């Protein structure tokens, strides 16, 4: 199984974060600081490193195809998210949370490290397209879905450093703009922080949960298995028959199979009540834990 060894490595990183948090070495405050480094430094560097240090050649038409596929996939998950709360009979006040968990996957924190480990730096250029669309949707549809009072769209957050670095990476690639060697080395070094730091954050996150309680929430467990297994397997049956690009298909599989986005819990904490925020945190934690097993399982079934 192609994805088994990378997922074991990521699980080790998660275990380190979990163990350090249990011993009091790392806490919630520390995890927020690590998250900032991952989001604002390591992930953007990983995207740029894929271009300045990569040896692959992706044609402009393939990037356009990726944008179309990403639009269809993310649009499809948004449409599916409208039905998921009713399918699992979620109470009214938590429907917004389940919609977010259905629509948005952890492309940056978990998707990028998995894609890098399995498909190499070249594949990250495909993933960058998904990241840009993800940011636009999470700060528009995402916020509008769960906030109690209608407010304006936070355009400043849409064009964050993740989106800017993705756009810059594509411009550098398409225009073949040379970059100095010190810049290339810096991006390569910083990109190496992404996988261990992001997984340790998930481990710290899990340490704050009672793992037994996560698995006793039957509705959340069934929802998580549907999201992590049923949806990606069914979607990939269509994608592999329509898209004639093995690497893009692999990226699509990882994007679809990754757990609920950490942003779900962050937005819930900001825009909802305590009960909904706790449910979002449980959903993010449970899907992250299960994905260590389900991502290789989806890969084995699809490929």
Within the chain, what is the greatest distance between any pair of CA atoms?
56
Question: 105 by DSSP, 3-state: which?
Answer: strand
Total domains, the chain: 1
> What pLDDT, in 10s, does the model give residues 36-88?
888 889 888 888 887 888 666 667 788 889 999 999 999 999 999 999 999 99
pTM of the complete model: 0.84
> What pLDDT, in 10s, does the model give residues 284-303?
889 988 998 999 999 999 98
Segments in the chain forming alpha helices (H): 4-22, 28-37, 43-52, 60-87, 95-103, 112-119, 122-137, 143-146, 155-158, 161-175, 181-191, 194-207, 211-216, 218-225, 231-242, 246-257, 262-271, 274-302
What's the rounded Cα separation, in Å, for the pair 295 and 299? Answer: 6
C-alpha gyration radius of the chain? 18
Q: Is residue 82 part of a domain?
A: yes
CATH code (residue 17): 1.20.1530
What's the rounded Cα separation, in Å, for the pair 9 and 264? Answer: 25
Q: Is residue 302 part of a domain?
A: no
> What pLDDT, in 10s, does the model give residues 227-286?
999 999 999 999 999 999 999 999 999 999 999 998 888 788 777 887 888 888 889 889
> What pLDDT, in 10s, does the model give residues 164-187?
888 888 888 888 888 999 999 999
Q: Is residue 121 pLDDT above 90, yes or no?
A: no
Q: Is residue 59 part of a domain?
A: yes
**Domain housing 56:** 4-192+217-291
Q: Pick from 262, 263, 249, 10: which is nearest to 114 by CA? A: 10
Q: Is residue 287 part of a domain?
A: yes
**pLDDT score for 207:** 87
Collect contacts of 287-290 with beta carbons under 8 A, ≥24 apart: 287/101, 287/106, 287/224, 287/227, 287/228, 287/259, 287/260, 288/14, 288/106, 288/110, 288/202, 288/205, 288/206, 288/259, 288/260, 289/206, 289/211, 289/214, 290/224, 290/225, 290/228, 290/259
Q: Is residue 197 part of a domain?
A: no
Q: Is residue 205 part of a domain?
A: no
């Amino acid at each position: 199984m192609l994805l088994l060894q990378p997922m074991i490595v990521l699980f080790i990183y998660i275990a380190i974060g979990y163990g350090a948090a249990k011993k009091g070495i790392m806490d919630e405050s520390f995890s927020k600081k690590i998250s900032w480094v991952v989001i604002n430094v390591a992930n953007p560097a990983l995207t740029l490193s894929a271009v300045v240090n990569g040896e692959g050649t992706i044609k402009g038409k393939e990037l356009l195809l990726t944008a179309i596929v990403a639009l269809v996939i993310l649009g499809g998950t948004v449409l599916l998210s409208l039905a998921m709360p009713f399918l699992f009979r979620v109470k009214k006040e938590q429907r917004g949370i389940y919609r977010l968990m259905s629509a948005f996957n952890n492309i940056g924190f978990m998707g990028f490290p998995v894609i890098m480990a399995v498909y190499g730096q070249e594949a990250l250029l495909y993933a960058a397209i998904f990241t840009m669309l993800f940011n636009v949707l999470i700060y528009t549809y995402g916020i509008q879905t769960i906030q109690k009072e209608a407010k304006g769209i936070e355009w400043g957050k849409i064009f964050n450093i993740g989106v800017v670095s993705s756009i810059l990476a594509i411009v550098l690639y398409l225009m073949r703009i040379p970059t100095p060697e010190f810049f290339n080395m810096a991006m390569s070094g910083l990109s190496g922080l992404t996988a261990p730091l992001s997984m340790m954050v998930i481990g710290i996150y899990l340490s704050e949960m009672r793992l037994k309680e996560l698995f006793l929430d039957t509705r959340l467990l069934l929802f998580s298995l549907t999201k992590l297994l049923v949806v990606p397997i069914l979607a990939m049956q269509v994608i592999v028959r329509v898209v004639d690009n093995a690497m893009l298909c692999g990226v699509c599989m990882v994007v679809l199979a990754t757990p609920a986005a950490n942003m779900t819990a962050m937005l819930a904490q900001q825009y909802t009540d305590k009960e909904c925020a706790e449910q979002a945190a449980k959903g993010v934690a449970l899907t992250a834990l299960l994905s260590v097993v389900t991502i290789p399982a989806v890969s084995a079934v699809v490929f």
